[in-house]
Structure 1
């Protein structure tokens, strides 16, 4: 069988969540870079794969799947170890991980996207405090979720941490995280312990933050 193909880009936090999951699992895949800022995701062949024209996309020998959360859970279920700690079979742990995947998608990334889309595609050059406030509120929720725990679910990192960190790590381009010390400490743990963080997540996040800075007035 051919290697699974992942279509994405380091600029994209959801793509990086898939990349980090692959690194944590130690599986082989083929990467296809999608030039998001030059509208490669709007080309006919890409839209045929995914009418929503979003990234990332997984092509697992003809099985096409979009949405990073669906992709990472699928990868662990198909290619992971028995009862893989990234996404354990214990129903309560899995439910908690799913909760944070939905939190990342519906709260963190949703409000982040509301800020980024006008900057990238509508020529907006200043941050909008009205849009920043709900994003800060989301980080406040995460601060409370973490409490005194090292990781979001259980005693080791899971898909919850992988998904959430790819969004959170880019927030300092919008506002300081100093008022969220538990989030900052958790972010440092992710940087230290997640396989591939330095080689996969950091370079892509740097590109993301630099691209935002260049589009904003100093």
Structure 2
């Protein structure tokens, strides 16, 4: 049965090619790529881009320059009234906030369940780590760098750096005994966390006190599909901008 299906598929493709050459119309339907509104500087945007690479999904990339206020254009506000990135449009379905976009991509387009397993305990652990990134890890990074980068502060608050290092220490503990955030294979939790931690590294945050984090980051860089294009370039760009202020 499997052989017959393959043979039928090959014959169909041959027929479609023959029709194309003869000028006849084909019944092949072009599938519209989802739209993705983003900015390379944004770690949350890059986490989605990493997930898209992992599932092999091409996105119709629509960059918005938040510094220039492009997110306030009426046509974008009509799509997302919160006018934030990332914003993802899949047909008539619109979604913003990076973590649910990542889990949606993994669930709908993943070749298997490895990125977001159906097992409830595993999935809950992945969710916990993504919320940890949102509410603690990246939040504390923002508390340290954003006042200087975007709010006119003269210099960063060293106490905020201590709080960030504390959060990195917790992540170091979460990574103990396994290669990735949840076990020994990459999940969407790794996409979320690595987008943040690579940005910290590019900004000059010292990670050396956290050996599990350092080793995990190196594994992610080496093994995540499309890492350089989807994440590294934006992280380095953010770091370069941050270092002129910090």
Q: Shorter-chain TM-score category?
A: over 0.9
Q: Structure 1 residue 48: deviation in Å?
A: 2.6
- 8 Å contact kept, 1:143–1:180: yes
Q: How many residues align?
A: 215
Distance in 2 (CA, whole Å) between partners of 1:61 and 1:198 is 28
Listed one character per residue, the Cα deviations across residues 19-52 of structure 1 (whole Å, up to 9, x for unaligned) are: 0000011112211111122222233322232232
Listed one character per residue, the Cα deviations across residues 125-177 of structure 1 (whole Å, up to 9, x for unaligned) are: 42211221221111000011111211111221110111101001121325211
Larger displacement relative to structure 2 (167-176 or 92-101):
167-176
Q: Normalising by the residue count of structure 2, what TM-score does the alignment of the two structures yield?
A: 0.83
Distance in 2 (CA, whole Å) between partners of 1:73 and 1:30 is 19
User: Runs of 5+ in structure 2 lacking a partner?
Assistant: 1-30
Runs of 4 or more, structure 1, over 6 Å off, are none
Which protein shows a greater Rg? 2
Match of 2:185 in 1: 156
- 8 Å contact kept, 1:127–1:174: no
Distance in 1 (CA, whole Å) between partners of 2:94 and 2:126 is 23
Match of 1:211 in 2: 241
Match of 1:10 in 2: 40
Cα RMSD (Å)? 1.4
Match of 2:224 in 1: 194
Alignment of 1:93-112 (within 5 A): 93-112=122-141
1:10 aligns to what SS in structure 2?
A: coil
Distance in 1 (CA, whole Å) between partners of 2:76 and 2:148 is 24
Q: Normalising by the residue count of structure 1, what TM-score does the alignment of the two structures yield?
A: 0.93
2:135 aligns to what SS in structure 1?
A: helix
Larger displacement relative to structure 2 (164-173 or 65-74):
164-173
Match of 1:166 in 2: 195
User: Runs of 5+ in structure 1 lacking a partner?
Assistant: none
- 8 Å contact kept, 1:111–1:135: yes
Alignment of 1:65-80 (within 5 A): 65-80=95-110
1:87 aligns to what SS in structure 2?
A: coil
Distance in 1 (CA, whole Å) between partners of 2:88 and 2:156 is 33
Larger displacement relative to structure 2 (174-183 or 10-19):
174-183
